[in-house]
Chain A
Amino acid sequence: MTRLLETRKLTKKFGGLTAINEVDLSVEEGRITALIGPNGSGKTTYFNLLTGVYPPNEGEIFFDHENLAGMKPSFIARRGISRTFQNIQLFQRLTILENVMVAQDFHCRSTILGVYLRTRAVVREEEEVRRNAKSFLDLVGLKGMEDQEARNLPYGAQRLLEIARALATRPKLLLLDEPAAGMNITESSDLMSLIKKIRDQGITILLVEHDMRVVMGISERVAVLNFGQKIAEGSPEEVKKNADVIQAYLGRGKKRA
């Protein structure tokens, strides 16, 4: 297995607080990796570093043999990392279809002049973008709602739309930030099979998730963050038994005090 993503000594400080502290983490190509940890342990910050929302203070982000640390989000997206957000960040007043169409922008070749003259190539590309968008919506199960505005969707569907939009950039690595948040058990089961289906299409997945049923059900590797540091990494079984992990989640037991 080759490493698609590898961070080395990745560090982010906010004033006096070290949110991410020298995190070394690697994600293998074609796998589902989960990143877990108690609230405030730095999982979302880690995602924000990977996608360029914040520049890291130190460290490197190797993705596909290229250091992406300090690059702009749009650059990183073009290199093949796409994400969803824990607090949903859709284009609220655009339609569902438009949300997914925008995400294909950097694959588009149409020029301004071409658009003004409405050349055949432009018309064809527009149709293709529309068709692709529909197929991504189909994949996540949002077929037939294309023309509704994103803000009118129920919460769970908004999460699915975020996934469709992220897929539309045709990423190599998909980062999912708490995709199961606010979902009931049927919805999260559907989500698990969707994530597997995406992986089976050759897309590597790194997900942050609190729902342990989802984490243990689909991930092949699990990494654990606590107070900005990586405290464990391994198979789900290994991590479940790891003393440091148990302590991070449940606190120090009396016997060890």
Chain B
Amino acid sequence: MKKILSWFFFLLFLSLPLWLPHYPLHLACTVGIFVILAVSLNIIVGFTGQISLGHAAFFAVGAYTSSLLAMKFGVPFWIGIFAAGIVSFGFGILLGIPTLRVRDIYLSVVTICFGLMVQLALVNLEPITGGARGIYGIPRPSVGDFAFMTPQSFYYIILFFALLTIFSTLRLLRSRFGRAFLSIRENELAAETVGVRTTYYKILAFAISSFYAGLAGSLYAHYVSYINPDAFTFGTSVDVLVMIVIGGLGNVWGSVIGAFVITLLPEYLRFMQQYYRAVFGLGLIFMMVFMRSGIITVFQRVPWARSLSK
């Protein structure tokens, strides 16, 4: 049953560009990018038990790195996206360092400030980042003569990286690294006394998470081909945090579901016109009250879906 279902979803997502109209397909691309952001943030928050309200900063670092490489040095997307990941990884180490000294609410303030700093830097380093106007005309990726100009084709690039993020994160979390992350979440003192180098693993969690967020940033930049600091606000960080909480903290598939719900739900509430944001907010509050462990718990009650939720 699980196999059939997995194939069904795989083929469904593979076939989307064949039958989805333009706008819904654009939404699917957006969902894909947010899947990467949510799954990666979950490594820090859901698995390692640290808090981060600055995830948009890494999204931004990735977006600007790969855009600038493409615009100023003509670096192709396929190299730029990994460069974006690596630069973001470096910034992740930077933000990981405060976690050694501060935790909980204090850490959340540090991460918020980090996000604001990055955003301010983007606005003010005008000669490099284009300031508030941002960067225009970021080239679409291409292979030989074929350029991924349409959402239909770009969708597959996003799908590929989203799947890469999901399955590589699952592998990571089912290894010694995942166990070490979880042990820090569960009991940092005990983790230390059984020899887990908690400082190393906390920084590693931030760095790996940032790497993926950097990939997402690069995808975003080359997909919309125009970026400015408004796309990487505190609000974006909050959105991603809401995704992983709504989906179910500490569960990779929960984050995927969260990314879908938070991206798509407002779209389907638009018929309520000016009230749709309010209804959306109310919906989230109800979900939190009645499904505190996230939407994924619904799946955990269904026998054949249970294996998905591990």
Chain A: residues with CB nearer than 8 A to chain B? 51-53, 72-74, 77-78, 82-83, 85, 89-94, 98, 101-103, 105-106, 108, 110, 112, 115-116, 118, 122, 125-126, 129, 165-166, 168-169
Contacts and interface: CB of A to CB of B under 8 A. Distances in A.
Contacts of A73: 189, 192-193
A53 B179 CA distance: 22
B44 to A, nearest CB: 16
B175 A91 contact: no
Contact of B187 (A51, A91, A106, A116): A91
B186 A126 contact: no
A114 B192 CA distance: 24
A53 B187 contact: no
Contacts of A102: 179-180, 182-183, 191, 194, 196
30 contacts: A73-B189, A74-B192, A74-B193, A74-B195, A74-B197, A77-B194, A82-B194, A83-B193, A89-B189, A89-B190, A90-B186, A91-B182, A91-B186, A91-B187, A93-B182, A94-B186, A98-B182, A102-B182, A103-B194, A105-B183, A105-B196, A106-B195, A106-B196, A112-B204, A115-B176, A115-B177, A116-B171, A116-B172, A126-B176, A166-B194
B168 interface: yes
B180 A105 contact: yes
A93 B184 CA distance: 12
A115 B175 contact: yes
B129 to A, nearest CB: 31
B47 to A, nearest CB: 11
A101 B193 contact: no
Interface of B: 168, 171-172, 175-177, 179-180, 182-183, 186-187, 189-198, 204, 208
Q: Closest 6 interchain pairs by CB?
A: A77-B195, A91-B186, A73-B192, A103-B194, A106-B195, A89-B190
Contact of A118 (B171, B194, B195, B208): B171
B195 A105 contact: yes
Contacts of B208: 112
In this complex, which of B171, B182, B186 has the most chain A Cβ atoms within 10 angstroms of its Cβ? B186
Given A103-B194, A106-B197, 10 more contacts: A74-B192, A74-B198, A77-B193, A91-B186, A93-B186, A94-B182, A106-B196, A115-B175, A115-B177, A129-B176
Given A74-B197, A115-B171, A91 B176 contact: no
Give chain B's interface secondary structure class.
helix
A83 B193 CA distance: 7
A112 B176 CA distance: 9
A105 B194 contact: yes
A74 B187 contact: no
A77 B172 CA distance: 24
A90 B195 contact: no
A122 B175 contact: yes
Contact of A168 (B183, B194, B197): B194
Nearest to A81: B193
Given A74-B197, A103-B195, A166-B194, A115 B189 contact: no
Contacts of B204: 112
Contacts, number: 93
In this complex, which of A72, A89, A102, A122 has the most chain B Cβ atoms within 10 angstroms of its Cβ? A102
A19 B172 CA distance: 43
Contact of B172 (A74, A94, A115, A166): A115
A53 B189 CA distance: 8
B195 A92 contact: no
B303 to A, nearest CB: 16
A106 B198 CA distance: 11
Nearest to B195: A77
B195 A78 contact: yes
Contacts of A74: 191-193, 195-198
Contacts of B190: 85, 89-91
Given A91-B183, A92-B186, A53 B193 contact: yes
B243 to A, nearest CB: 21
A105 B239 CA distance: 34
B186 A108 contact: no
A168 B175 CA distance: 17
B173 to A, nearest CB: 10
A169 to B, nearest CB: 5
B93 to A, nearest CB: 14
Contact of B192 (A72, A91, A112, A116): A72
A105 B194 CA distance: 8
A101 B198 contact: no
A105 to B, nearest CB: 5
A140 to B, nearest CB: 15
Contacts of B175: 110, 115, 122, 126
Contacts of A105: 176, 179-180, 183, 194-196
Contacts of B193: 51, 53, 73-74, 77, 82-83, 89
In this complex, which of B172, B183, B195, B208 has the most chain A Cβ atoms within 10 angstroms of its Cβ? B195
A78 B190 CA distance: 14
Nearest to A106: B195
In this complex, which of B171, B179, B189, B196 has the most chain A Cβ atoms within 10 angstroms of its Cβ? B179
